[in-house]
Each structure stands twice: as structure tokens, then as C-alpha cells.
Chain A
């Protein structure tokens, strides 16, 4: 099975900060990598698919990059509504999809 490892597990940041979250796959997954945002008590929301494609309606301050085994999610200027937990997810392995353990973005 493909394992997904996110770093850091949590981070503290302030409004206006640039935030970067990393996701590493245990083997090459090409660009089969998606990012989600989840707020407490809510369902996850798709932000980025295929490593760098912005889902419709998602603010342009969110961006994704990477391919192979190393990927990043960047929030260019953190907004108050962006404090949440972020997950990466691979869809490379045939019908066995896995998530990273999550990165919680907290207010400094």
C-alpha cells in the first residue's frame, strides 16, 4: 500500500502568513495527488486535484505543486477562515486510496 506522510503535523501561523504543508508518498504517484480542507464538525472540502489544479470556487491563495513523491500545498496569505486541518490523498494505486494523517493549522 502507498503511505502518505504529511509534515508538519501541526503549525501555528498568523493571518497574512505564507503557509506551506508537505506531503510525501512512499512511492512515485505521478500527479495523482489531491488536497482537502476540513473544519471542526464539517465534511472535508476539495481544494486541489491532480497536484496543482484548483477546484472551482477555491480562492487563488491556495496552490499545489509537486510530482512523483513530494508535494506541497501553499497558502500565500493566510486568512481567518483558513484555520483548519489539511489532508493530502493519493489516487494512484488502483482503487485503494489513502490519505495523509493531516496537518492542523492553528492560530499563533
Chain B
């Protein structure tokens, strides 16, 4: 079955960096667009970044542009999120999610369990 397993979360000081990973299995990773979605404590969901199946294009929410980089290694079935210049407002559970699609409508059909990132001095 489809499995997405995030890792790399933790406590980090403001201005520092952190890299998240998401190991995928149970589907053809190299054929799937992948996303990061985050959820601040007690808050709603926020889409963060998307990368196409071949890694050729990446898209970001405005609040992380220039600070976060989404990437993937299709030979390792792994998705990454490099987070630089972290701010307190980046504190959240970060989920990786597969981009499914039907008739041109994209949705998040499989999700990992999430990894918590806490930005605090």
C-alpha cells in the first residue's frame, strides 16, 4: 500500500536551517507530483510547495519563496524540503502529500503522518 514517511523535524533556532525528508513506497514515485503541506499548532492547513514528477518545476506559497526549496531524488523515492532562514511562524507539522489528479483537477490523495518543526530560541 502507499506509504509516505516524513523525517527530519525538530527544534531549531530562528534564522537556522533544517531539511525534511519524505520516503515514499507503494506507488510509482517518479510518476507523481509531490507536495509539502503544513499545519501550525491549532490552525488550519497551508499548502507550501509542489514539485513535478520529473523535478523540472517547483512552486511555492509566497511566504516561503526564497527561503524553502523542494527537491526530489527519484532513484531513492524520496522527497525533500530544505528550509533556510527559519522564522517562528514556520512552526508547524509538515506533511508530504502526493498530488493525484482527475480531469485536470489536482488533489492530495495520500499523506504522510507529519513531522513537527518548532522554531524557537
- Taking Cβ atoms with an 8 Å cutoff, the residues of A that contact B are 1, 31-32, 34, 36, 38, 42-46, 49-50, 53, 55, 87, 89, 91, 95-102
- List B contacts of A100 (CB < 8 A): 44
Assuming the contacts A43-B112, A43-B114, A49-B100, asked whether A32 and B45 have C-beta atoms less than 8 A apart, the reply is no
Give the total number of A-B pairs whose CB atoms are below 8 A apart.
64
List residues of B (72-121) whose CB comes within 8 Å of A's CBs: 95, 100, 102-109, 111-114
Determine the main DSSP class of A at the interface with B: loop
Q: Across the interface, do A43 and B113 meet the contact criterion of CB distance under 8 Å?
A: yes
* Extra 5 A-B pairs, beta carbons < 8 Å, given A36-B45, A44-B108, A91-B107: A34-B107, A43-B112, A44-B45, A89-B47, A99-B44
Determine the main DSSP class of B at the interface with A: strand
Residue of A nearest to B111 (CB): A43
Assuming the contacts A36-B108, A43-B95, asked whether A98 and B44 have C-beta atoms less than 8 A apart, the reply is no
Q: Across the interface, do A89 and B50 meet the contact criterion of CB distance under 8 Å?
A: no
21 contacts between A and B (CB under 8 A): A32-B104, A32-B106, A34-B105, A34-B107, A34-B108, A36-B45, A36-B108, A43-B111, A46-B100, A46-B107, A46-B109, A49-B102, A50-B102, A89-B45, A89-B107, A91-B105, A95-B59, A96-B47, A97-B50, A99-B47, A101-B44
User: Counting CB contacts under 8 A, is B11 at the interface?
Assistant: no
7 closest Cβ pairs, A-B complex: A95-B59, A43-B111, A91-B106, A34-B107, A50-B105, A49-B107, A99-B45
Q: Across the interface, do B45 and A87 meet the contact criterion of CB distance under 8 Å?
A: yes
Residue of A nearest to B112 (CB): A43
B68 to chain A, nearest CB (A): 15
